[in-house]
Structure 1
Amino acid sequence: MRATTLTISSRNYSSWSLRGWLLCRMAGLDFETELLSGADASTRAELLHLSPSFLVPRLRHGAVTVWDTLAIAQYLDETFPEAGLLPADVAARAHCRSIAGEMHGGFINLRSALPMNLKARHLGFRIFNGARGDIERIVAIFEDCLGAYDGPYLFGARPTLADAMYAPVCTRFRTYDVLLAGRAAGYRDRILDWSLMQHWTEAALAEPDEIEELDMEF
């Protein structure tokens, strides 16, 4: 069996690490998780800049090393097509890739104003207009996909790349008390109750707080 390692940074703060970890678990990989120290300079930069393009998550699978969440997803889909990380239907696959790419390269206002923090709860949090526009777009994506593919996940009966990409947003909606209704609220709750998310959250809550700068007011 090939040695497989996924390198991540903080479970509590790093949404990109969460996405990579979900994809590996969804693909059925047997892997070890390597956690970088919060004292590591590259880890701190990745977290504080909320960058999707740093070197974590980084997957080592035998002789292959791949980083960047979408690159990891593409590699896993090509290597384990039976896992269904992308829908089987060609049009649905294109749709799934499109909204995954939208998360990968967009929603900067939301990601900067509402950073992932699984330990925090900010009831009545005041959301500025730029982030509100991002939230409205994400809710529209949820409603559109759930309506088109009949749920309970964004592309039907099982989780796909899209659910891994938007799962950290569901945690932000809980952390910052973002009011949702209808299908969007139900989808948020389903993702938060997902067994993989429960496993990650338990580990995040047990993680020591090493990065003091992320406790700043925002």
Structure 2
Amino acid sequence: MLQLVIGNKNYSSWSMRPWVLLRHFGIPFEERRLRFDQDPGAAFFTELARISPVARVPVLVDEGLAVWDSLAIVEYLAERHPEHPVWPRARGDRARARSLCAEMHAGFGALREHWPQNIEASLPDVGARVLAAQPGVRRDLDRIVQMWSTALQASAGPFLFGDFSAADAYYAPVAGRLRTYGVALPEAVQAYADRVWASPGVAAWVAEAVAERDFLQFEEPYRTAR
């Protein structure tokens, strides 16, 4: 059986993406959660060193083969399970979906830095302050609104390319960040973000993230105490 090695659900946006995809399509897998830590000698790093050449999650393990990058994991799952529409079936849609995922994978650094994932938190005041002080976050947000709007108009929804695909799994953590930081969105874009958040795989991850109750101070830049 596939094994997916992940970090804390409340904080690990990269782990969330393949987990949601596996869960959505009902692909059997075993979850192995490693608690985030900053100490190089901690179990998080020593355990990862046994299975992956990089000390990052997620890692997918399939009969001894380790795939250690989230986008590579998505591609591996698409090849391993062609019966599931991990990517849209139409070639043009598939190319656009891959482009959106690659853009997320390589970009949006300001948004990720200043609005880190924290699913159980509600920080609208922080969201407003960051938007006022960080023009890079505003640019990232405007681009996300643009790409979501364009894809939804072309596909007529309900998801970016019609049916739920890797593109929606890839942007699910962004939908979560926008909720955490109380970001106002255009009506159609907000409706899409709400649909993603309510989709079965995402809802399952969110419920487990909220139940986790494993708060790490170094992952909480906007809150110093609980």
Corresponding residue for 1:194? 199
Corresponding residue for 2:151? 145
Which runs of 4 or more aligned residues in structure 1 lie more than 3 Å from their structure 2 counterparts after TM superposition? Answer: 39-44
Gaps of 5+ in 1: 45-52
Q: Which amino acid aligns with 2:4?
A: L
User: Per-residue deviation at 1:114?
Assistant: 0.4
1:161 aligns with 2:159: no
The correspondence of residues 1-80 of structure 1 with structure 2, limited to 5 A, is: 3-39=1-37, 41=39, 55-80=56-81
Q: Which TM-score applies when normalising by structure 2? A: 0.86
Distance in 2 of aligned mates of 1:41 and 1:91 = 45
8 Å CA contact 1:26–1:83 kept in 2: the answer is no
1:212 aligns with 2:217: yes
User: Per-residue deviation at 1:29?
Assistant: 1.8
Q: Which TM-score applies when normalising by structure 1? A: 0.89
Corresponding residue for 2:190? 185
Q: Report Cα offsets for 1:41-90 as digits up to 9, x if no partner.
A: 4659xxxxxxxx85311111224321111100110101111210111111
Q: Which amino acid aligns with 1:5?
A: Q
Distance in 2 of aligned mates of 1:74 and 1:29 = 14
User: Per-residue deviation at 1:195?
Assistant: 1.8
Q: Which amino acid aligns with 2:142?
A: E
Q: Secondary structure at the match of 2:124?
A: coil
Report the count of equivalent residues.
Answer: 207
After alignment, is 190-199 or 71-80 more displaced?
Answer: 190-199
Gaps of 5+ in 2: 46-53
Q: Which amino acid aligns with 1:177?
A: G
Distance in 2 of aligned mates of 1:82 and 1:169 = 27
User: Per-residue deviation at 1:206?
Assistant: 1.5
8 Å CA contact 2:24–2:200 kept in 1: the answer is no
Give the aligned CA root-mean-square deviation in angstroms: 1.8
User: Per-residue deviation at 1:23?
Assistant: 2.1
Q: Tell me the percent identity.
A: 39
User: Per-residue deviation at 1:15?
Assistant: 0.3
